[in-house]
Amino acid sequence: MPNPTAAMLVIGDEILSGRTRDANMYHLAGRLTEHGVDLREVRVVADDRAQIVAAIKALRAAFDHLFTSGGIGPTHDDITAEAVARAFDTPIGIRDDARAILAAHYEARGQELNAARLRMARIPEGATLIDNPVSAAPGFILGNVHVMAGVPSIFEAMLASVLPTLAGGAPVLSQTWEVRRGEGDIAGPLSELAARYPDLSVGSYPFIRDGCHGAQIVLRGQDGGRLDAAMAELAELFPA
């Protein structure tokens, strides 16, 4: 059976302006691969309601799961929850259990649960909350959409609580063979090897190191024996 598929939507002007280097995409990609879920597409969009709504609709229709990152804080530019509600054509309002979580958190710290913070209790109808062990304000799951924070430590904590609840497929195994020759030298035999192993994905990732060309040949698949066999052929084709 093929693995479940997933997409990611990163929401935030700061990535597109070059101010911030995204960290959550790299983290999610690694965790999903370990879990046996195939990440098939990532989109990064600005804090723009129409763009967010369109991306949510397209990605949740095309893949089994959609993970979003960013835009669920208390400030005026945090519009993800509302955009998700709109994409599902579902009402959104302050939910009692989310409000209670925030109230307890801020009371324990002697801080006020003001109008801005209360925005973080706005949850689309029918959603399930995602625990936020870092700063209390919850994420949520609506249908196949997992809405999580953009701050990396919170994103990672939320993902850690969500992943075990998702059905995964066989984790994808991978092995890498480094070749210290230009890709043009190895492309022919490599293509023939890929044809002999249609059940494996054979990727070639070129690099330049100390002025010399090389490539990492990465074999991926779910059958360890087949990977070993292909690796043995690689080692014979392109001795270290």
* Site for a second copy, residues 80 to 119, rule: CB under 8 A: 106, 111, 114-117, 119
| Longest alpha-carbon distance in the chain | 67
Least distance CB 75 / a second copy (angstroms) = 4
229 binds a second copy (CB under 8 A): no
Q: What are phi and psi of 221, to 5 degrees?
A: 180, 180
CA distance 44 to 51: 10
Can you tell me which of 2, 18, 198, 225 binds a second copy, judged by CB under 8 A?
Answer: 18
Taking phi over 0 as left and psi of -120 to 50 as alpha, with beta for the rest, 145 belongs to beta
Distance CA 143, CA 56 (A): 12
User: Taking CB under 8 A as the criterion, which residues in 169-198 touch a second copy?
Assistant: 172, 174, 182-188, 190-191, 194
| Full DSSP string of 112-148 | ---HHHHGGGEEETT-EEE--TTT---EEEETTEEEE
Please give the residues from 55 up to 74 whose contact with a second copy meets the rule CB under 8 A: 73-74
Q: Given candidates 11, 37, 39, 56, which one binds a second copy under the rule CB under 8 A?
A: 39
Residue with smaller CB distance to a second copy, 49 or 126: 49
* Residue whose CB is less far from a second copy, 14 or 82: 14
Size of the site for a second copy (CB under 8 A): 73
* Contact status, residue 185 vs residue 239, Cβ threshold 8 Å: no
Shortest spacing between CB 41 and a second copy, in angstroms: 5
